[in-house]
Structure 1
Amino acid sequence: MDMYTFSNEANTVKGIPVNDSESSLGICETRWTGSGEFNSDSFKVLYSGEVYAPTTASSEEEIDEFYNTLEKAKTQCKSTDVTVIMGDLNAKVGNEAEGETVGKFGLGTQNERGEKWVQWCKTNEYVLTNTWYEQHPRRLWTWLNPGSDFKNQIDYIAIKKRYRSAIKNSKAYPGADCGSDHNPFICELKIKNGNKIN
């Protein structure tokens, strides 16, 4: 990706309104290589490279490998860090509440991949932020099937349950042109100074 495209996509995402002057933006599936963070204007921008959860066509071995990798990554974070897992999970968790993990404001019906993702989140005490806030339907879908009008919610922001009260809102921003068939989505968090976001 050239610097011009990188700059345009960063500026598009920075145009998403947030209520806090010290906000973090997380970016995934942008075709940017590697991972890291940088400051741009008043934003701290976090980004990660191309990592995808297995699709419904993937084998059980691929799915197990993905969750094993996720487990290994999770162990690298300190217990005091605000750990956020976000991106394309290729899972539909649906719109039925499940304990403290899934809210009733998801989109559609849970599929097998969604069931596995929800189980992992329950076991590891994560909440799926973009299922907890009632939004207009256009603020729920995160992916548009290229070449059709089929819209789905397969991208999530998950945060440890202990920080549930820090979540102020979570929603998608359809129409932002950031070089992906996925909508950017945002989770507004109000955390105490000194807590590190991973």
Structure 2
Amino acid sequence: MIEYADQFPKATWDTLVMLFWSGLVSIILGLILAVVVVITRKDGIAPNKWVFWILDKIINLFRAIPFIILVPALAFLSRFVFHTTIGITGAMVPLIVGTVPFMARQFESAIMEIPEGVVEASISMGMTNWQIITQVYLRENIPGMIRGVTITLIALIGQIAIVGAVGAGGLGDMAIRYGNGRRMTDITYVVILLILIIISIIQLIGDRLVAKFTR
């Protein structure tokens, strides 16, 4: 394993890069989707059954597709957007498409936990829909949103390991190429340890932020 030790820093960095960018985009898109789904539902502040129905079904559809199937299915889209299906760039499309629905549901659940009376009070005070979104939906349950982000980012680590099997690089790629392909189980164990460390750091940061924003 010593001769491959210098590859661990790059593999770890590649994993972190994919985690950061796919996680960031998924948080933004997931939050937008969650807000639109919440406000357009039948009892929302801007009900629209068709918008709600379409987005709800799209989210359910992509949540139901196993990620290992989603990766090759979206190869054409990766090629169209980034002109490649390999490497970190080629992994971005399936990672984002596979993560956004889960992130959206986590945000939606957090928003729906806000007491209905708070929203009704905001409406009676004459707040606009935009004010309710920014000052109520996005502020009244920040701990719940942080918990949702933490859970989804940890799940995203597993998806990043999967895309490593199709040439995206990262720790998953090392485990497949050396740990499995060359029967170097010591490399597999090191990869597992590094992934556990990353997950533990994410969980620790999430727990600290939840504690800080819990009233």
The structure with the largest strand share of the pair is: 1
TM-score tier, shorter chain, comes to: under 0.3
Structure whose alpha-carbon radius of gyration is higher: 2
State TM-score, norm by structure 1: 0.28
Q: TM-score by structure 2 length?
A: 0.26
